[in-house]
Structure 1
Amino acid sequence: MKLIFKYFSESVVERVFVRDGHVGFKCSLPKDYNDPFELFLGVDLEQGSDLLATYSEVVQEIPSLLTTCFSKSPVVTPMWAHYGNNHKGFVIGFDVAELQEVFQDLLVREISYRDRPSETLISFAEMAAHRKKPRDAMALRNAVLYQAYFSKYLEWSYEQEVRAVNIDEYVENVSGNKILYVPKQCVAAIVSGAKSSSQTRDALQEVAQELGADFYIGRIGRSYPMPYLITDAGSSRVFSDSEISPPIAECAECTEPLRDKGGLCPWCSVDDAHRMAAAMNNPFRILEHYGLLEEYIENYPVGPRKPYQ
């Protein structure tokens, strides 16, 4: 089952789940996106002036389409920071096959991240300019539309974005906002952020039960390098190969996921003997023993220094 994920702030919990058996969220036009250079990749400005004139004549202006955005992963730290209220919010995972079964004209595609427009745009413009056939003009317009909505500049690649367009006939106007209400059969998982309040977690867990979705709580570990998930039963889960699944192994003490098979995570593997040896070799303890630590710290130069300076 392929899942895509949408990040939310904790402040919208009630609005997202306002309709029984559904999840509702706002769809936006390009002018409302957080990237001021949206749609720029729909035109290659390095083509010659003759082709650019053909582009302008045939395409004229890239249409403004309602769009909603997802991510391929529920554990992208910058996404939690920007859209998940710094891990206080939540994420909803949707089954793509179910979405397209319910909304049959919905176009769902992964974003292609580029440093420049697709080379295919020039070839489509050349065909439209030289052959002067209606089908070539339509091919150019379609290529431009696709590249404009499903391409972004490389600096946004951390979002791992998936975008859905062609949703105008499915949205409802609610207080001036275009809302898409998605039925529960499309909802596969709900993740409460690692810093979410107990009130938010309880509300999300109840909603997950009502929708028949899996429920997870996000965790930020001490050694695992990205957020991981905890099930209702307390077992850890990781996101790997487009799936939420058990990790290779869990730490026998703290249950944090391990990247390799083994009994303990790096921190739990530190035992009393290690701590005692480290304490005996700690120069700060020696200074403190002779009453010199505070003076040493006060007189030590502050500010950035080169290593070993």
Structure 2
Amino acid sequence: MRLYYFTTAEHGLAAIRDQRLKIAEVGKLNDPFEFLGLELSDPFARKKTKEIKKAIDSETGIVCLSKSWKHPLMWSHYADKHKGLCLGFDVHCKAEKVEYVAKRLTPDTLGANSLSELTNRQVTNSFFYKFEAWAYEAEYRLICSKTYRDAVTKLCFQHFGEDLTLKEVIVGCESTLSQWQIQEVLGSSKEAVDTFKVRPAFKTFEIVRDRRRNALK
């Protein structure tokens, strides 16, 4: 499955050079409803959900990817207002698809009769539902162990490899990065990675490949 990671130019070049993506902390994501897809009016359900979320956050994090690189809002929100990069990966490990809903989930949605009957697995399943306003992200998530923490940055990373293979480097339409800068960090893998610049489409509200020969100088 080909999935895409949006980032700034600085962080994108570092990711390519170091062959790794930063693992996001569950408690530091940009949506306050993250991992809170359940309707939580019941105190027991709130407590149980928070306990499971805390346990997950202590051991794992996520890498957020998208099904498409063509949505302009993704470039605006996650790639420094179109000045950044989008990295395309062939993903061969399990990627959890995020489902988008209009209302918070109720027990019957997850196969239970009441909030108190929800199993830990059913509560965990609710973590991959988000409010429909986020649907433009077309998000998939890699659940990653936080066992490796960088000694300098104190951050956790998921390394490239057979499960996460870099295949595309897509350069934002407002980026000033050069072909040389990207090839330098790609090193010996530059021939195996498709590198190109993008532009706004002429007929639709979509980002498309810029096919001019000198688009990426």
Q: Could you tell me the TM-score, scaled by structure 1's length? A: 0.58
Could you tell me which residue of structure 1 aligns to residue 207 of structure 2? 227
Q: How far did 1:231 drift?
A: 5.7
* Count of residue pairs brought into register by the alignment: 205
CA–CA separation in structure 2 for the residues paired with 1:128 and 1:205: 55
Larger radius of gyration: 1
**Preserved contact between residue 13 and residue 185 of structure 2 (Cα < 8 Å):** no
Alignment of 1:277-296 (within 5 A): none
Residue 173 (1) aligns with residue 161 (2) = no
Could you tell me which residue of structure 1 aligns to residue 165 of structure 2? 186
**Preserved contact between residue 23 and residue 144 of structure 2 (Cα < 8 Å):** no
Q: How far did 1:168 drift?
A: 2.9
Per-residue CA deviations over 1:162-201 (Å, capped at 9, x if unaligned) read 11114334x43342111222138711111011111143x4
Question: Which of the residues 97, 103, 106 maps onto 1:110?
Answer: 97
Gaps of 5+ in 1: 101-106, 130-136, 236-309
Alignment of 1:15-164 (within 5 A): 15-19=14-18, 22=19, 24-41=20-37, 43-45=38-40, 53=44, 55=45, 61-63=51-53, 64=57, 65-97=60-92, 100=93, 107-119=94-106, 120=108, 123-124=111-112, 126=114, 129=117, 140-148=119-127, 150-164=128-142
Give aligned-pair identity as a percent.
20
Distance 1:34 1:156, change over 3 A: same
Gaps of 5+ in 2: none
SS in structure 1 at match of 2:124: helix
Q: CA RMSD in A?
A: 2.9
Q: How far did 1:62 drift?
A: 2.4
CA–CA separation in structure 2 for the residues paired with 1:57 and 1:13: 38
CA–CA separation in structure 2 for the residues paired with 1:14 and 1:208: 9
CA–CA separation in structure 2 for the residues paired with 1:59 and 1:38: 11
SS in structure 1 at match of 2:156: strand
Distance 1:166 1:207, change over 3 A: closer
**Preserved contact between residue 172 and residue 180 of structure 1 (Cα < 8 Å):** no
What code does the residue aligned with 2:35 have? L
What code does the residue aligned with 1:229 have? R
Higher RCO, Cα 8 Å, sep 6+: 2
**Preserved contact between residue 13 and residue 182 of structure 2 (Cα < 8 Å):** no
